[in-house]
Amino acid sequence: MTYIIIESLYKIYQGTVETVALENFNEKIDKGEAVAIAGPSGSGKTSLLSCIGGVLKPTSGRILIDGIDITKLSDDELVDYRRDQVGLIYQDFNLIDEFSIYENVVLPMLIAKKTKSEIEARANELLEALDIQRYIKTFPNYLSGGEKQRVAIAVALANDPDIILADEPTGNLDLASRENVIDILTTKCKDLNKALLIATHDPFIMKKIDRIIDLPKLIR
């Protein structure tokens, strides 16, 4: 069975105006696949990633992860799902500025109650893989954008989730670090057999992924 199966997904925001962000969206994405979520601004890329990441409840439809419909999970079950099965990467890095690089990387593992030896081994492995070991005592604000995003990738991979969701991960990076960050992200996710979904407009990313899922801008 395909790892991620999305069936008849709708996300409709109710405000002063009703906004249809996703309309009858269907897709299958497997582990080991890297896909780009493309489409114009407002086409629902962030909404889709948020629904798959269990941070946003869709209006209707099913999201099967390894056969389990996450739209039916309780709040407690969703906390476990997000912690164990999802790694998130954002445009603005989302690191904790008051924490050192090492502390940022180990925090998800502390929350997941991993053992001390497990945490140390995993942190060292990630810091080395992402070439950020020399910054362990440094704080995020002293790093370049590309270095911060490499730390964010380490944080996302910390608990070894099956799904990595990246929302415009190169949006705040210059050309050189864009290439470096995307090379590392796509290579690591492939090697580790993750399902990688990247919401992006970046033509460079399009060359590095397996396929593109184009979201139409819905006419309301």
Ligand X SMILES: Nc1ncnc2c1ncn2[C@@H]1O[C@H](COP(=O)(O)OP(=O)(O)OP(=O)(O)O)[C@@H](O)[C@H]1O
Query: Whose Cβ is closer to ligand X: residue 45's or residue 194's?
Result: 45
Query: Would you count residue 46 as binding Mg ion (CB under 5 A)?
Result: yes
User: Which of the choices ligand X, Mg ion, none does residue 21 contact, using the CB cut-off of 5 to 8 A by kind?
Assistant: ligand X
Q: At 158, which amino acid appears?
A: A
Q: Which residue's CB comes closest to Mg ion?
A: 46
Residues 32, 82: Cα–Cα separation, whole Å = 19
Work out how close the CB of 197 gets to Mg ion at its nearest, in angstroms, rounded to a whole number: 13
Q: Are 122 and 149 in contact (CB under 8 A)?
A: no
Work out how close the CB of 42 gets to ligand X at its nearest, in angstroms, rounded to a whole number: 4
61: left (phi over 0), alpha (psi -120 to 50) or beta: left
Q: Which helix (H) or strand (E) holds 65?
A: strand 60-65
Work out how close the CB of 200 gets to ligand X at its nearest, in angstroms, rounded to a whole number: 9
Query: Whose Cβ is closer to Mg ion: residue 11's or residue 45's?
Result: 45
Query: Whose Cβ is closer to ligand X: residue 39's or residue 169's?
Result: 39
Residue 176 buriedness (CB in 10 A; 0-12 / 13-18 / 19+): exposed
Work out how close the CB of 13 gets to ligand X at its nearest, in angstroms, rounded to a whole number: 3
Q: Are 155 and 108 in contact (CB under 8 A)?
A: yes
6-65 residues near ligand X, rule: CB under 6 A: 13, 15, 19, 21, 39, 41-47
Q: Are 44 and 217 in contact (CB under 8 A)?
A: no
Sequence length of the chain is 220
Work out how close the CB of 21 gets to ligand X at its nearest, in angstroms, rounded to a whole number: 4
Residues of the shown chain interacting with ligand X in the complex, contacts defined by CB under 6 A? 13, 15, 19, 21, 39, 41-47
Residues that bind Mg ion (CB under 5 A): 45-46
